[in-house]
Amino acid sequence: MGKKTAGEREIMNFAIVGAGFSGAVLAHELSKAGHEIDVFESRDHVAGNCYSERDSETGIMVHRYGPHIFHTDDDEVWDYVNQFTEFMPFVNRVKTTSEGQVFSLPINLHTINQYFDKTFNPAEAKSFIESIAESNITDPQSFEEQALKFVGRELYEAFFKGYTVKQWGVQPTELPASILKRLPVRFNYDDNYFNHRHQGMPKHGYAPIFEKLLNHPNITVYLNQSFTKDRVQDFDHVFYTGPIDAWFEYEHGRLGYRTLDFVREEHEGDYQGCAVMNYGDQKVPYTRISEHKHFAPWEQHNKTVIFKEFSRACEETDIPYYPIRLVNEKKMLSIYIEAAKQQHDVSFLGRLGTYRYLDMDVTIGEALHASKQILAMLKKHSELPAFFVDPT
Ligand code: UDP
């Protein structure tokens, strides 16, 4: 490895495939260390699914691939992203509509009191929920068991069951408990959707973060360019953040994803009074409506633009969003993982490269961690691994 040397240091020529957070953070860190980076992005823009842009009709900042709210408990990641743009304070307060009534999410004291028509204090609500929750479930295996153990059948059916069937296309009995563990249950009136200490929205959207991450004389970004395997030999190493099964031309089958369709509507004034309204009922075909101007409450717009979000199975030409990761997918994934480990000049990173449901902060944290490992391994002339995390 190593084409040129500058003093003691070897300068490497790396290809990074994909310009989402994994690829952009890696490119930034490796270029700072002096390496030459070519970034290949198959879309006509950087930033992956975090991409945001001004809506051409209303001027509102919209997230083209659905709402992305930045939240993290990781101080290093928070400090890192704040170097690249100004974050405005923002707290995600989600509402949900169920059977013709609007409730507060995540399930909190207000939701419980409203749903059961009570005036419980925190201790009363806690013992009430304990009395209706299915405490006989000791080690919940599925999403449904986790929900029944957590909040009992009524709240599960009102808020989680229908939404989850629409979102994932399977019954919650088939899904892992980990998906529900993303959502807290609270016995106070805190309606912050997230538990993390840091939360905010980039003042000018996500795209400027990526422009800064990728703005380095050692980085060349090629948009509208898929990376083909025959180019591997042109580089010292390839960091691949696309779908792992696509790298192997789907030779062991296609890993399942959910994709999203967004139906745009323009209205006057304020459409729903909040950024995100979920729809718990299965008969409503969309999962949620996002009204993007509420993600930037520091801006003024007379018009509004909303997106109804529909989830469905991802077909060949669709954009993959959520990895499904059920038993069959995991079996197929383990074959791809083994195949990846046989490659010596490619590493797989990120949501698509490791086929995991990752939030932005985790993605950035993993890319930072990988960069450190890469730089340390290069110093020792060790071979770079196929994975920097365990993707199983
Ligand atoms: N969920 C639900 N009802 C809701 C919101 C979420 O049942 O009103 C479930 C659903 O299965 C979803 C999961 O909880 O996939 C995680 O929700 P989150 O809001 O974290 O999903 P994301 O914003 O990543 O799509």
Q: What is the 3-state secondary structure (H, E, C) of 40-91?
A: ECCCCCCCHHHCEEECCCCCCEEECCCCCCEEECCHHHHHHHHCCCCEEECC
155 & 109 share domain: yes
Contact predicate 290/276, CB 8 Å: yes
Read off the tokens for 2.
Answer: 């190593």
Contact predicate 207/82, CB 8 Å: no
Contact predicate 223/45, CB 8 Å: yes
What percentage of the chain exceeds 70 in pLDDT?
98
57 & 126 share domain: no
What confidence tier does 4 reach under pLDDT thresholds 50, 70, 90?
A: very low
Read off the tokens for 284.
Answer: 């409503």
In a domain, residue 385? The reply is no
Residue type, 274: C
**105 C-alpha to center of ligand 1: Å?**
11
Neighbours of 83 (CB within 10 A): 9
270 & 309 share domain: yes
In a domain, residue 232? The reply is yes
Contact predicate 118/128, CB 8 Å: yes
348 & 206 share domain: yes
Please confirm, yes or no, whether 264 is among the known catalytic residues: no
In a domain, residue 121? The reply is yes
Contact predicate 87/203, CB 8 Å: yes
CB of residue 164 inside a 6 A radius of ligand 1: yes
Lowest mean pLDDT, pick from 70-74, 181-185, 320-324: 181-185
174 & 103 share domain: yes
Round to whole Å and give the CA distance between 107 and 367.
33
- pLDDT score for 333: 98
* CA 5 from centre of chain: 38
Q: Does 325 have pLDDT greater than 80?
A: yes
**138 C-alpha to center of ligand 1: Å?**
23
81 & 98 share domain: no
Strand order in the sheet with 288-291: 101-104, 95-98, 276-279, 288-291, 303-313, 257-268, 322-323
Provide the domain count of the chain.
Answer: 2
pLDDT in tens, 109-153: 999 999 999 999 999 999 999 999 998 999 999 999 999 999 999
**309: phi then psi, degrees, rounded to nearest 5:** -110, 120
- SS3 percent helix, strand, coil of the chain, rounded to 5, is 35, 20, 45
Catalytic residue among 38, 144, 186, 286: 186
102 & 84 share domain: no
- pLDDT score for 332: 98
From 164, 174, 288, give the residue whose CB has the most ligand 1 atoms within 8 Å, as the site to mutate: 164
156 & 278 share domain: yes
**85 C-alpha to center of ligand 1: Å?**
28
Give the CA distances from residue 51 to residues 41, 45, 67, 96, in Å, rounded to whole numbers and listed in that order: 13, 8, 10, 25
**167 C-alpha to center of ligand 1: Å?**
8
What confidence tier does 7 reach under pLDDT thresholds 50, 70, 90?
A: very low
Round to whole Å and give the CA distance between 219 and 266.
39
- pLDDT score for 182: 85
Long-range contacts (CB closer than 8 Å, 24 or more residues apart) made by 281-286: 281/97, 281/98, 281/99, 281/162, 282/161, 282/162, 282/165, 282/166, 283/162, 284/97, 284/162, 285/166, 285/310, 286/166, 286/310
Please confirm, yes or no, whether 257 is among the known catalytic residues: no
Please confirm, yes or no, whether 93 is among the known catalytic residues: no
- pLDDT score for 9: 55
Prior bond to 320 cis, omega within 30?
A: no
- pLDDT score for 129: 97
- pLDDT score for 25: 99
| Ligand 1 closest atom vs CA 162 | 7
In a domain, residue 166? The reply is yes
In a domain, residue 319? The reply is no
What confidence tier does 41 reach under pLDDT thresholds 50, 70, 90?
A: very high
Q: What is the overall mean pLDDT for the chain?
A: 96
Catalytic residue among 309, 329, 361, 366: 309
pLDDT (average), residues 63-84: 98
Give the domain extent around 148: 94-191+257-313
| Ligand 1 closest atom vs CA 159 | 3
**191: phi then psi, degrees, rounded to nearest 5:** -110, 20
pLDDT (average), residues 31-45: 98
Q: Does 48 have pLDDT greater than 60?
A: yes
CATH of the domain at 148: 3.90.660
What confidence tier does 2 reach under pLDDT thresholds 50, 70, 90?
A: very low
Round to whole Å and give the CA distance between 134 and 151.
8
Round to whole Å and give the CA distance between 101 and 118.
16
CATH of the domain at 18: 3.40.50.720
CB of residue 105 inside a 6 A radius of ligand 1: yes
Please confirm, yes or no, whether 38 is among the known catalytic residues: no
What confidence tier does 6 reach under pLDDT thresholds 50, 70, 90?
A: very low
Please confirm, yes or no, whether 54 is among the known catalytic residues: no
Contact predicate 112/129, CB 8 Å: yes
H-helix segments, the chain: 21-32, 75-82, 109-116, 122-132, 143-155, 162-168, 207-214, 244-247, 327-341, 350-354, 360-379
CB of residue 179 inside a 6 A radius of ligand 1: yes
What confidence tier does 39 reach under pLDDT thresholds 50, 70, 90?
A: very high
Q: pTM of the predicted model, to two decimals? A: 0.96
